[in-house]
Structure 1
């Protein structure tokens, strides 16, 4: 599995390009691009996605959004239009991309001019329990509401290794905020208890903000997980 991540925008949101198709070292410049998935292309991410695709010979097959907040979705429409990649988001957060002002809230909406943002065309669902075959990968969806109603975690495997993209559910040493419009603190605690704690210690996590970690490290040291053990 090849994972290319970078932080974008004023909130330094992590965007990831992921593929399970290995590069052919003998392929020339005319070799076909390898399919990849793009996770959370937020504010200012599209240009870097374009550069990385050209640099690594990648072509987005799908855009997967862990939730509907603007710092994770802002450039999803641009990536969709440039690469013809369908956008998917859990149905409970679709209202945020359909009406970005609602998804951003009034303060952020005014600050980042979300009224000028075009929503992605015909976004598909990321329902709980779905298993998607994309870009040489298996992507399993785990609905984990709390930070937002439709927050999901994406467990991605290529047959040799796997990683969990946690969005704003779980960070290294912390969790996503639950004081935002449509957040639910009780639902977040339930998600941590029922969706995060049962996971194996060795599973790496790549969150929506900040550095990566493992489930084991968070089980041992994350104070929010200690609350639900």
Structure 2
């Protein structure tokens, strides 16, 4: 297995990593360079797909060797949902997400997820964390490896700051409040962050900039 760097090119090779029983596969698709992830249990072969962004055939290929429990959405923006029908109908994989983004989703989710839920994936447990601001129903997914926590942050947290709140001071406050209380306030610096676009980061790399982010707004 190649050394994991967290950098993938759209429609290029994916990268894999392991941390105890946790397996993570990262790939990027199409012109928005959307990251899609497989969260897998190496003991049972069960897995979650994070974001049905695009290219359903490629996403199904990325799941080969795993038994998908579901595809889970970080949020409902158009670039994160274009493979919905190909995953749900052609692949037979349920799509789960937060009710707050129902108006953005192309169709109803098979299961509504709520803050604090814990999703069993083989021997792993994936925690659902709701942090509104980028969208009303934005979710992050947290899973503990042997070495560190792993956080799949969608468009809520990137290297360099929170996701776009489109000029809304209220939504910027909400996203910062949520990140500080639910993410930075409880998770260690070594937590690995897998965003919805671009390269990975850690909470330790981003933590010194929290005040700057809050003051600059978006």
TM range (shorter): 0.7 to 0.9
Structure 2 unaligned regions, length at least 5:
1-21
Which residue in 1 is equivalent to 2:52?
41
Secondary structure in 1 matching 2:150: strand
1:59 lines up with 2:99 in the alignment: no
CA contact (8 A) 1:218 1:225 kept: no
1:62-73 equivalences in 2 (<5 Å): 62-73=70-81
In structure 1, distance between residues paired with 2:53 and 2:153: 15
Which residue in 2 is equivalent to 1:91?
99
Give, in angstroms, the shift of residue 65 of structure 1: 0.3
Which residue in 2 is equivalent to 1:10?
31
Secondary structure in 1 matching 2:115: coil
Q: Compared with structure 1, are the counterparts of its residues 136 and 161 closer, same or farther at alpha carbon in structure 2 (3 Å cutoff)? A: farther
CA contact (8 A) 1:9 1:71 kept: no
Count of aligned pairs: 193
Give, in angstroms, the shift of residue 42 of structure 1: 0.5
Q: Compared with structure 1, are the counterparts of its residues 227 and 193 closer, same or farther at alpha carbon in structure 2 (3 Å cutoff)? A: farther
Which residue in 2 is equivalent to 1:146?
133
TM-score by length of 1: 0.75
CA contact (8 A) 2:60 2:91 kept: no
Between structures 1 and 2, the one with greater helix share: 1
Give, in angstroms, the shift of residue 76 of structure 1: 2.5
Which residue in 1 is equivalent to 2:200?
212
Higher gyration radius (CA): 1
In structure 2, distance between residues paired with 1:179 and 1:157: 32
Give, in angstroms, the shift of residue 227 of structure 1: 6.6
Deviations along 1:8-54, one digit per CA (max 9) or x if unpaired, are 1221110001101248xxxxxxxxxx32110012023x121122233
Give, in angstroms, the shift of residue 126 of structure 1: 1.4
1:189 lines up with 2:210 in the alignment: no
1:131 lines up with 2:118 in the alignment: yes
In structure 2, distance between residues paired with 1:194 and 1:2: 27
